[in-house]
């Protein structure tokens, strides 16, 4: 309990004035670790207890103990007389040589015949692409992203292009959901704004690449069908002069983090499913100006549980049921309140031609840390568009708008309605009160229960 009191003191928003100089969130020192160190007496860690390689060494009186006071180092010998260093010699010949030998020794048999319906048989014009663009992750190397595939997905908010990205810093498959229905128009028609396309996808990947390879990975223009199959070229994603874009509002984007519970099983502990749905709904709305077609993207990062992973998030929920809020629950598990990073999101946005000097963006978020992180990554943001939870918007005195407000509660999947409940209110209030989210609080009747 005293650890919890210390933790609460260090992370509370209402620190006494004299302590305001303290870093509260994302502190370099983990408050739980500090509490553990102060209360544990001798300065040893768990590892000191667990490792005891030479049991007798610690106690010179023990049987068989070597008396280290008598130990003397070997006198240094002149360079020529030193014993040669031991060298590890493998009894196997190097793998490359073994493979070469196997190749020459194995009799060449004809490949097994496959039936035409075999799932391994590809039409001759489609070649196999490597499973991962970057065979190994290396965080010390400059960050690179590559769009591996793009495809059209019809949604209740209209068609979107789903892009799957690989990068060289982690092995996760981050996604971008691009809303740009104008790309389906005939290429001859005038475009009010440049198409949102991936440069790495439209690039030529190899000399051996066929048109069918390009089309299969999504590098095509227009609407793909049995009769329309136009591969893109690297210039397809080159943006024309900014003048064309000046007439339309900057694209609306959201950087969203994965939430299996909120998005897939409709959890009403958080508003993540609703936020994803609402973001796509807002991006897919045509702008007020006549020429302003719907245009924007959701970058969907695989940073489940604010970066702590699904396993830890589920455990955090149990701590929340014990009365802790979403921030304290993370800290009690030894995690930060928010462990996410936005470098990959910025790289994906840049790959799509968004967030640079030519195409500054409007960002859907209430999260000040996310705004700061995107700015630090060099993304040019001209406007923050707030994400008002639907359940709070419904309870505003002037809540008249929104067909979604009338749909059934709990249907949080894409195209669904509004989520509400005591758990959600508490989660939203914590985001405002402890994480600084830029959202006006409304009276929910849960205030007294806040820890």
Ligand X SMILES: Nc1nc2c(ncn2[C@@H]2O[C@H](COP(=O)(O)OP(=O)(O)OP(=O)(O)O)[C@@H](O)[C@H]2O)c(=O)[nH]1
Which residue, 193 or 428, is less far from ligand X as judged by CB? Answer: 428
Using alpha carbons only, how large is the chain's radius of gyration in Å? 29
* Token couple for 239: 């943006």
Q: Is 168 one of the binding residues for ligand X (CB under 6 A)?
A: no
Which residue, 168 or 257, is less far from ligand X as judged by CB? Answer: 257
Q: Which of residues 93-112 bind ligand X (CB under 6 A)?
A: none
Phi and psi at 254, nearest 5°, equal -140, 135
CA–CA distance from 26 to each of 64, 391, 435 (Å)? 50, 30, 11
Question: Which position among 214, 281, 315, 340 bears the catalytic label?
Answer: 340
Residue pair 306/129 in contact (Cβ under 8 Å)? The answer is no
Which residue, 308 or 344, is less far from ligand X as judged by CB? Answer: 308
Q: Which of residues 294-313 bind ligand X (CB under 6 A)?
A: 303-306, 308, 313
Q: Which of residues 21-80 bind ligand X (CB under 6 A)?
A: none
Q: Does 338 qualify as catalytic in the annotation? A: yes
Which residue, 168 or 365, is less far from ligand X as judged by CB? Answer: 365
Q: Is 365 one of the binding residues for ligand X (CB under 6 A)?
A: yes
Sequence-ordered list of residues with C-beta below 8 angstroms from that of 122, at least 6 positions apart, any chain: 128
Which residue, 217 or 362, is less far from ligand X as judged by CB? Answer: 362
CA distance 193 to 244: 6
* Token couple for 173: 């498959």
Residue pair 253/363 in contact (Cβ under 8 Å)? The answer is yes
Site string for ligand X, 226-265 (x = CB under 6 A): ------------------------------xxxx------
Q: Which of residues 323-362 bind ligand X (CB under 6 A)?
A: 326, 330
Please state, as a whole number, how many other Cβ atoms lie within 10 Å of the Cβ of residue 216. Answer: 18
Q: Does 254 qualify as catalytic in the annotation? A: no
Which residue, 316 or 344, is less far from ligand X as judged by CB? Answer: 316
Question: Which position among 338, 390, 425, 434 bears the catalytic label?
Answer: 338
| CA atoms within 13 A of residue 168's CA, in its CB half-sphere | 11
CA distance 272 to 419: 10
Binding-site member from 196, 374, 387, 428 for ligand X (CB under 6 A)? 387
Site string for ligand X, 414-443 (x = CB under 6 A): -----------------x-----x------
Q: Is 270 one of the binding residues for ligand X (CB under 6 A)?
A: yes
CA–CA distance from 434 to each of 100, 269, 367, 450 (Å)? 62, 17, 12, 11
Which residue, 270 or 347, is less far from ligand X as judged by CB? Answer: 270
- Minimum CB separation of residue 450 from ligand X in Å reads 15
Q: Is 174 one of the binding residues for ligand X (CB under 6 A)?
A: no
- Minimum CB separation of residue 369 from ligand X in Å reads 7
- Minimum CB separation of residue 13 from ligand X in Å reads 17
The overall longest dimension of the chain from CA atoms, in Å, is: 93
Which residue, 268 or 352, is less far from ligand X as judged by CB? Answer: 268
- Minimum CB separation of residue 271 from ligand X in Å reads 8
* Region from 146-154, 226-234, 366-374, 399-407 binding ligand X, contact rule CB under 6 A: 366-374
| 161 DSSP β-pair partners | 152, 178
For 351, the enclosing helix (H) or strand (E) is helix 343-351
Per rule CB under 6 A, count of chain residues that contact ligand X: 23
Identify the CA nearest to 248 among candidates 208, 198, 190. Answer: 190
Using DSSP bridges, classify how beta strands 158-167 and 145-155 pair: parallel, antiparallel or unpaired. Answer: antiparallel
- Minimum CB separation of residue 326 from ligand X in Å reads 4
Q: At CA 309, angle to CA 305 and CA 313, rounded to 5?
A: 55
Q: Is 163 one of the binding residues for ligand X (CB under 6 A)?
A: no
Q: Is 275 one of the binding residues for ligand X (CB under 6 A)?
A: yes
CA–CA distance from 256 to each of 173, 341, 417 (Å)? 14, 12, 19
Phi and psi at 44, nearest 5°, equal -125, 155
Catalytic residues: 338, 340
Sites of contact with ligand X (CB under 6 A): 256-259, 270, 272, 275, 303-306, 308, 313, 316, 326, 330, 365-367, 370, 387, 431, 437
């Amino acid at each position: 309990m005293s650890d919890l009191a210390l933790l609460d003191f260090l992370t509370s928003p209402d620190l006494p004035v004299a302590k305001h100089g303290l870093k509260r969130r994302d502190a370099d020192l983990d408050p739980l670790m500090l509490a553990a160190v102060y209360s544990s007496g001798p300065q040893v860690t768990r590892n000191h207890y667990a490792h005891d390689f030479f049991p007798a060494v610690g106690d010179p009186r023990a049987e068989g103990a070597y008396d280290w006071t008598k130990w003397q180092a070997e006198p240094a010998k002149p360079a020529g007389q030193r014993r040669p260093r031991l060298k590890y010699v493998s009894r196997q010949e190097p793998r490359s040589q073994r493979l070469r030998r196997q190749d020459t020794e194995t009799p060449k048999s004809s490949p097994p015949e496959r039936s035409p319906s075999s799932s391994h048989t590809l039409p001759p014009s489609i070649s196999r692409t490597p499973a991962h663009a970057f065979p190994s992750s290396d965080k010390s190397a400059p960050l690179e992203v590559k769009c591996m595939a793009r495809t059209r997905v019809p949604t209740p908010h209209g068609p979107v292009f789903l892009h799957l990205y690989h990068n060289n810093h982690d092995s996760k498959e981050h996604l971008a959901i691009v809303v740009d229905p104008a790309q389906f128009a005939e290429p001859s028609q005038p475009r009010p704004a440049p198409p949102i396309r991936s440069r790495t996808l439209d690039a030529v990947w190899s000399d051996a690449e066929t048109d069918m390879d390009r089309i299969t990975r999504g590098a095509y223009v227009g609407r793909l069908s049995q009769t329309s199959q136009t591969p893109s070229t690297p210039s397809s994603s080159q943006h024309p002069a900014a003048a064309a874009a000046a007439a339309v509002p900057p694209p609306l984007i959201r950087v969203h983090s994965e939430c299996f519970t909120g998005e897939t099983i409709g959890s009403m502990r958080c508003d993540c499913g609703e936020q994803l749905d609402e973001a796509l709904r807002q991006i897919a709305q045509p702008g007020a100006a006549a020429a302003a077609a719907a245009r924007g993207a959701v970058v969907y990062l695989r940073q489940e549980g604010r970066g702590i992973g699904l396993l830890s998030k589920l455990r955090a929920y149990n701590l929340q049921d014990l009365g802790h809020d979403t921030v304290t629950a993370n800290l009690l598990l030894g995690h930060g309140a928010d462990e996410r990073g936005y470098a990959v999101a910025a790289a994906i946005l840049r790959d799509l031609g968004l967030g640079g000097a030519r195409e500054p963006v409007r960002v859907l978020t209430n999260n000040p840390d996310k705004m700061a992180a995107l700015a630090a990554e060099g993304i040019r943001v001209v406007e923050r568009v707030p994400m008002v939870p639907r359940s709070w918007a419904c309870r505003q005195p002037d809540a008249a708008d929104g067909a979604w407000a009338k749909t059934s509660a709990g249907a949080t999947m894409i195209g669904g309605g509004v989520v509400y409940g005591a758990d959600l209110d508490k989660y939203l209030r914590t985001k405002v009160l402890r994480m600084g989210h830029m959202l006006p609080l409304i009276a929910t009747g849960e205030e007294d229960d806040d820890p």
